[in-house]
């Protein structure tokens, strides 16, 4: 806390409120943490995605593959540039994009793919990169929820052409307002993104490109730079919380955890739960680590019942426990996209009716975790 106050006073006294030395310091620290050459501080995770697409020249007539089961910004950034988001179904095990479905939706107009690393866990990046290579697609990793998580020991965001992070206060590295970061190993793309961040001007007031104002505040960068060395510690506590939930809940009647090695047998293609399952716990997939930005369970509704997920959420709230739905409407069903050709994403439809995220933040105490478990047990019995 004292460190935040000291840093704030220093930035206020400096009079440098946008970009500048504190931003460059934070960019260097983050690039080193992720293992990339370039990090470009921006105004939000949304703007990081937009800037990446702009730097890659995505626009009118282009198609971009992206999951339907994600936060709106992933597809919103594509549509704002006049390109078409092509919605891909989810894996019923990880809830990340289903690369087989992405492959079926490639057309001659497809220019890029945006794998989202949902809830703090990597999408199937080996398959995404193989698909991108086969069809010559650019890859923008939406790592807004997954800064610090890895896939095959590489930090997420460092695998594709670009990686985008968000420091929205609910992310694992939460800021004190809106902020984001774009990373890349490509020198030319980094230069272009830096220029586009300041209205495409280089030098100042001379514009060869049309960019925007995507700048990060110095105060955000300075405060986030104080937090960054603690990030792996926050992850560790989230992991322990997740482990505790799994330990307390697995093995109870009706509670199942999807088994990655049995993924072809255990869960049907449309994502419907196995027989008798009432609550499905999240699964950690192999060859990656999970930073648990969310601990998201699926609450299964039986035939003739009202939505059990909504009932559990109301039950938890009654017990003073916050539980959120990420996300209640898949993007292919959003009103703003209804003029587009209908997309077939049955797993996303199932997930949207069933997912519920339980409290997982690092500061949770053992007795608070027990309260959540107790409330779940009283609901399930």
Ligand X SMILES: *Cc1c(COP(=O)(O)O)cnc(C)c1O
**Least separation in angstroms between CB 116 and ligand X:** 5
User: Environment class of residue 211 by beta-carbon count within 10 Å: exposed (0-12), middle (13-18) or buried (19+)?
Assistant: buried
**Least separation in angstroms between CB 16 and ligand X:** 23
**Least separation in angstroms between CB 177 and ligand X:** 10
By CB under 6 A, tell whether 295 contacts ligand X: no
How far is the CA of 372 from the CAs of 296, 313, 361, 378, in angstroms?
13, 11, 13, 10
At a CB cut-off of 8 Å and minimum separation 6, what does 16 contact? 22, 218
**Least separation in angstroms between CB 365 and ligand X:** 26
**Least separation in angstroms between CB 96 and ligand X:** 11
The one segment of 90-98, 139-147, 152-160, 263-271 that binds ligand X by CB under 6 A = 139-147
By CB under 6 A, tell whether 175 contacts ligand X: no
Q: Concatenated DSSP letters for 176-205?
A: SS--EEEEES-HHHHHHHHHHHBTTBSSTT
By CB under 6 A, tell whether 163 contacts ligand X: no
The one segment of 4-12, 69-77, 120-128, 187-195 that binds ligand X by CB under 6 A = 69-77
Taking Cα atoms as reference points, which of 322, 326, 305 lies closest to residue 314? 322
d(CA 261, CA 196): 44
From 142, 217, 289, 349, residue interacting with ligand X (rule: CB under 6 A)? 142
Rank residues 242 and 331 by Cβ distance to ligand X and give the closer one.
331
Taking Cα atoms as reference points, which of 62, 78, 56, 195 lies closest to residue 139? 56
Please give the residue whose beta carbon sits closest to ligand X in the complex.
Answer: 45
Rank residues 74 and 184 by Cβ distance to ligand X and give the closer one.
74
Instruction: Enumerate residues 176-235 that contact ligand X by CB under 6 A.
Output: 178, 180
Q: DSSP secondary-structure letter at 18?
A: B
- Report yes or no: 251 and 245 within 8 Å, Cβ to Cβ: no
By CB under 6 A, tell whether 162 contacts ligand X: no
Rank residues 50 and 132 by Cβ distance to ligand X and give the closer one.
50
- Report yes or no: 110 and 86 within 8 Å, Cβ to Cβ: yes
Instruction: Enumerate residues 72-101 that contact ligand X by CB under 6 A.
Output: 73-74
For ligand X, how many residues bind (rule: CB under 6 A)?
15
From 22, 39, 44, 58, residue interacting with ligand X (rule: CB under 6 A)? 44
By CB under 6 A, tell whether 67 contacts ligand X: no
What proportions of the chain, in percent to the nearest 5, are helix, strand and coil?
A: 40, 15, 40
**Least separation in angstroms between CB 49 and ligand X:** 6
H-state helical runs in 17-124: 21-34, 45-55, 73-80, 99-104
In DSSP terms, 288 is beta-bridged to 151
Instruction: Enumerate residues 326-345 that contact ligand X by CB under 6 A.
Output: none
d(CA 94, CA 323): 20
**Least separation in angstroms between CB 42 and ligand X:** 9
From 96, 166, 225, 350, residue interacting with ligand X (rule: CB under 6 A)? 166
Rank residues 249 and 294 by Cβ distance to ligand X and give the closer one.
294
At a CB cut-off of 8 Å and minimum separation 6, what does 113 contact? 64, 65, 66, 102, 128, 131, 132, 137, 138, 139, 140
By CB under 6 A, tell whether 116 contacts ligand X: yes
**Least separation in angstroms between CB 69 and ligand X:** 10
Helix (H, G, I), strand (E, B) or coil at 272: coil
The one segment of 44-52, 229-237, 275-283, 284-292 that binds ligand X by CB under 6 A = 44-52
**Least separation in angstroms between CB 193 and ligand X:** 16
Taking Cα atoms as reference points, which of 44, 108, 116 lies closest to residue 75? 116
Q: Residue numbers of the site for ligand X (CB under 6 A)?
A: 44-46, 70-71, 73-74, 116, 142, 144-145, 166, 168, 178, 180
């Amino acid at each position: 806390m004292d460190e935040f106050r000291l840093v704030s006073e220093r930035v206020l006294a400096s009079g440098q409120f946008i970009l500048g030395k504190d931003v460059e310091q934070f960019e260097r620290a983050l690039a080193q943490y992720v293992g990339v050459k370039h990090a470009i501080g921006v105004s939000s995770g949304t703007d990081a995605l937009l800037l990446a697409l702009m730097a890659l020249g995505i626009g009118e007539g282009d198609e971009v593959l992206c999951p339907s089961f994600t936060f709106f910004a992933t597809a919103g950034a594509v549509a704002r540039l006049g390109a078409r988001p092509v919605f891909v179904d989810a894996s019923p095990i990880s809830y990340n994009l289903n690369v087989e479905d992405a492959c079926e939706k490639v057309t001659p107009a497809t220019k890029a793919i945006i794998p989202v690393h949902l809830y703090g866990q990597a999408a199937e990046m080996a398959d995404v990169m193989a698909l991108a290579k086969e069809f010559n697609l650019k890859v923008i990793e939406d790592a807004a929820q997954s800064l610090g998580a890895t896939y095959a020991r590489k930090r997420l965001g460092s695998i594709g052409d670009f990686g985008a992070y968000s420091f929205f206060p609910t992310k694992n590295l939460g800021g004190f307002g809106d902020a984001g970061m774009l990373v890349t190993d490509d020198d030319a793309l980094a230069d272009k993104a830096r220029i586009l961040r300041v209205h495409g001007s280089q030098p100042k007031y001379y514009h060869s490109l049309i960019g925007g104002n995507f700048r990060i505040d110095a105060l955000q960068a300075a405060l986030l730079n104080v937090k960054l060395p603690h990030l792996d510690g926050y992850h560790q506590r989230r992991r322990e919380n997740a482990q505790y939930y799994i330990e307390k809940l697995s093995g109870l009647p009706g509670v199942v955890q999807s088994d990655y090695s049995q993924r072809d047998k255990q869960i049907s293609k449309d994502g419907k739960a196995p027989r008798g399952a009432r609550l499905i716990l999240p699964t950690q997939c192999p060859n990656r680590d999970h930073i648990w930005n969310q601990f998201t369970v699926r609450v299964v509704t039986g035939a003739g019942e009202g939505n059990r997920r909504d009932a559990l959420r109301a039950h938890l709230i009654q017990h003073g426990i916050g539980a959120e739905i990420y996300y209640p409407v898949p993007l292919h069903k959003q009103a703003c996209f209804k003029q587009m050709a209908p997309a077939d994403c049955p797993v996303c439809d199932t997930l949207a009716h069933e997912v519920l995220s339980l409290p997982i933040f690092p500061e949770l105490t053992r007795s608070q975790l027990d309260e959540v478990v107790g409330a779940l047990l009283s609901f399930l019995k």
